[in-house]
Amino acid sequence: MKITFNKPYLSGKELYYISQAIHNGKTAGNQAFTKKCHAFFHKTYGFGKVLLTTSCTDALEMAALLLDIEPGDEVIMPSFTFVSTANAFVLRGAKIVFADSRADEPNIDATTIEALVTPKTKAIVVVHYAGIACDMDVIMAVAKKHNLYVIEDAAQSIDGYYKGKPLGGIGDIGAFSFHETKNIISGEGGLLILNDEKYHQRAEIIWEKGTNRAAFFRGEVDKYGWVDVGSSFLPSEMTAAFLYAQLENIQEIQAKRGELWQRYERELQPLQEKGHIQLPVVPDYSTNNWHIFYLLCKNLEERTALIRHLKGNGVHAVFHYLSLHKSPFYKDKHDGRELPHTDRYTNTLVRLPLFFELSEEQQSHIINCITSFYS
């Protein structure tokens, strides 16, 4: 039995909608399907201004431009995250100040952030790992006290909530990913969420290569020109068409992922009770959007052996982030603080296959392989 880590799922009308976009002769960005996707996010989650992007990376780069991040600025963020979170701000010349993860789960330890604030700090970037919310009340209070921006890297967090508020919609700016490994996909793709009206007009200009082209097409200006910095951040209509078909089926997709996630938790619980592994923790303030199912081994050697054991039985399981503060690019720029929890997740976390078409038989095989490893 061969079980891949991930398998992109076609929910229904993806190919039909793509062909419709082509048939309509409107394949460049910001056409009918882009507008349908935007409307979905307004209606479903109550977001204000949203803009589809070609990736979550692009959405984060737009956020850095919108907040005028520049050389000398400091940006606080977790070390346990994907390189895009940091790159977006490094590209603007910012110094990254890495924070440790919580002891009980991989999200940023909100209680450590304030001690990292200096007169040069401009923003806090939080990452809702596995779609589980960071402790946003604490983070927003620190930001308000020190007059800092908050960016939510909600790449993994579609349909996730913090105390009833949708993730991505709490800080100044949010960013989603629709990469093929996410719950809702478009191959590559992302979304910028603007939670303050003061960013709306400029975001549209940055999105359209620094021009006021979108305002021109709405008839708000009689000609358009180059008015600000920007780049080609908007995706094609084919990407938007694919995404819209997925969004139409979000409830079905989420329900199936939830069943799979809960079965892993239920059937691996005995291994946790025996002290072999740790299972994910979901704080009371957060929902679970069923994005990642992970377990924690005791150490790096055990994790390496478990992944090898699963591979030998046809199961592709993977580890996750390597601590950014120890990366070849940034280790000499880091201030030398130890981040022990970050390093523990780097060395012990294993992600299990979780995708819509994972069958009951396949999931049983994965669970049995893990159980046999520890017996």
Q: What is the mean pLDDT of residues 279-299?
A: 98
Q: What is the pLDDT of residue 220?
A: 81
> Higher confidence at residue 274 or residue 212?
274
What are the residue boundaries of the structural domains of the chain, listed by start?
14-248, 250-374
Q: What is the pLDDT of residue 275?
A: 98
Q: What is the mean pLDDT of residues 51-69?
A: 98
Q: What is the mean pLDDT of residues 336-341?
A: 97
Q: What is the mean pLDDT of residues 38-56?
A: 97
Question: How many Cβ atoms are within 10 Å of 24's Cβ, its own excluded?
Answer: 13
Q: What is the pLDDT of residue 357?
A: 97
Q: What is the pLDDT of residue 354?
A: 98
Q: What is the pLDDT of residue 219?
A: 79
- Whether the per-residue pLDDT at 214 is higher than 80: the answer is no
CATH of domain 250-374: 3.90.1150.10
Q: Is 131 exposed, middle or buried (0-12, 13-18, 19+ CB in 10 A)?
A: buried
Q: What is the pLDDT of residue 225?
A: 86
What is the CATH architecture assignment of 14-248? 3-Layer(aba) Sandwich (3.40)
Among 38-47, 105-114, 157-166, 207-216, the least confident range: 207-216
What is the reported pTM?
Answer: 0.96
Q: What is the pLDDT of residue 224?
A: 82
Q: What is the pLDDT of residue 211?
A: 87
Q: What is the mean pLDDT of residues 73-85?
A: 98
